[in-house]
């Protein structure tokens, strides 16, 4: 909620959450249009993405919407093949075995289940991916995308991620950033103003739900506490409750 987050020692606003905005955020962009926020006034142009490994910059991804769109994966290979900074060509070519597995894993339900029982680490070994390709590029990518190393991930889930982001949606890597202001003040505040003015909603910042109040098996209210308050308060006679995780 705008105005509820502290500032850093240098005076910059501390905002948890999204920083970059990917091209495939249609719901958010539609919301901004509905509340009168012009994209060109708050966002930069689409920018390149950078991939970092343990030893620094590994590769950069171009603005794919400005690249030639060829059948996947030719378009991605053509646009990014020369953009690897450290990874030798032989290591990059070793990913071909994984591409063959990605053509196979959805062949039928039984095949998918077999890949799902296998870890991504086992899949990489079976496909003869080089250790350097895995350690310097794929492992960091999975830690960012799925928050776990290959040893703890299903091979099927890993290929789903790689297929969605690397093969099926070439322009999805395009990202842009806030041109001015903060996410809270520039994007969230106009939305909150709309909710208050048009729908008479009350938005409580710095307030956390502690428990639900039940009556005859249904949620009748919520007990919440404002940050720093000595006691909690109860909101009763609610018509519904939505739990978000």
Q: Which of 118-132, 160-174, 215-229 has the highest mean pLDDT?
A: 118-132
Q: How far apart are CA 179 and CA 221, in angstroms?
A: 41
Q: How far apart are CA 36 and CA 30, in angstroms?
A: 10
- Could you count the other beta carbons within 10 Å of the beta carbon of residue 238? 12
What confidence score (pLDDT) does residue 44 get? 92
Average pLDDT over all residues of the chain: 84
Three-class SS of residue 25?
A: coil
| Distance, C-alpha 199 to centroid of its chain | 30
- Could you count the other beta carbons within 10 Å of the beta carbon of residue 150? 22
Three-class SS of residue 204?
A: coil
The 10s digit of each residue's pLDDT in 45-104 is 998 888 887 788 888 888 877 777 776 666 676 777 788 888 898 998 898 899 889 889
The 10s digit of each residue's pLDDT in 42-61 is 999 998 888 887 788 888 88
Residue 114 confidence class, pLDDT cut points 50, 70, 90: very high
The 10s digit of each residue's pLDDT in 131-162 is 999 998 899 889 988 899 999 999 999 999 88
| Distance, C-alpha 42 to centroid of its chain | 20
Q: Show the tokens assigned to 44.
A: 């930069």
Asked if residue 199 has pLDDT above 60, the reply is yes
Beta bridge partners of 207: 226
Torsional sign, CA 39, 41, 45, 46: negative
Residues 6+ apart with CB under 8 A from 75: 64, 67, 68, 69, 170
Measure the CA angle with vertex 103, ends 23 and 78; round to 5°. 50
What confidence score (pLDDT) does residue 154 get? 96
Rg (CA), the chain: 23
What confidence score (pLDDT) does residue 6 get? 62
Torsional sign, CA 23, 29, 33, 35: negative
The model's pTM is 0.64
Beta bridge partners of 154: 119
């Amino acid at each position: 909620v705008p105005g509820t987050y502290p500032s850093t020692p240098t005076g910059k606003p501390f905002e948890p959450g999204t920083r970059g905005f990917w091209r495939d955020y249609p719901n958010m962009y539609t919301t901004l249009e509905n509340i009168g926020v012009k994209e060109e006034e708050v966002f930069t142009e689409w920018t390149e993405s950078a991939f970092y490994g343990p030893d620094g910059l590994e590769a950069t991804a171009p603005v794919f919407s400005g690249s030639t769109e060829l059948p996947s994966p030719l378009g991605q290979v053509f646009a990014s093949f020369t953009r690897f900074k450290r990874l030798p060509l032989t290591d990059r070519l070793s990913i071909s075995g994984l591409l063959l597995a990605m053509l196979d894993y959805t062949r039928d339900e039984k095949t998918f289940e077999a890949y799902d029982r296998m870890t991504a680490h086992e899949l990489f070994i079976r496909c003869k991916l080089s250790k350097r390709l895995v350690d310097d590029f794929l492992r960091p990518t999975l830690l960012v995308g799925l928050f776990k190393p290959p040893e703890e991930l299903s091979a099927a889930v890993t290929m789903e991620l790689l297929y969605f982001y690397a093969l099926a949606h070439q322009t999805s890597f395009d990202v842009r950033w806030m041109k001015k202001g903060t996410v809270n003040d520039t994007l969230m505040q106009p939305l909150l103003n709309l909710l208050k003015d048009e729908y008479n909603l009350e938005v409580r910042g710095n307030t956390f739900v502690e428990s639900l109040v039940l009556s005859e098996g249904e949620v009748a209210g919520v007990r919440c506490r404002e940050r720093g308050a000595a006691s909690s308060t109860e909101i009763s006679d609610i018509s519904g409750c939505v739990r978000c995780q």
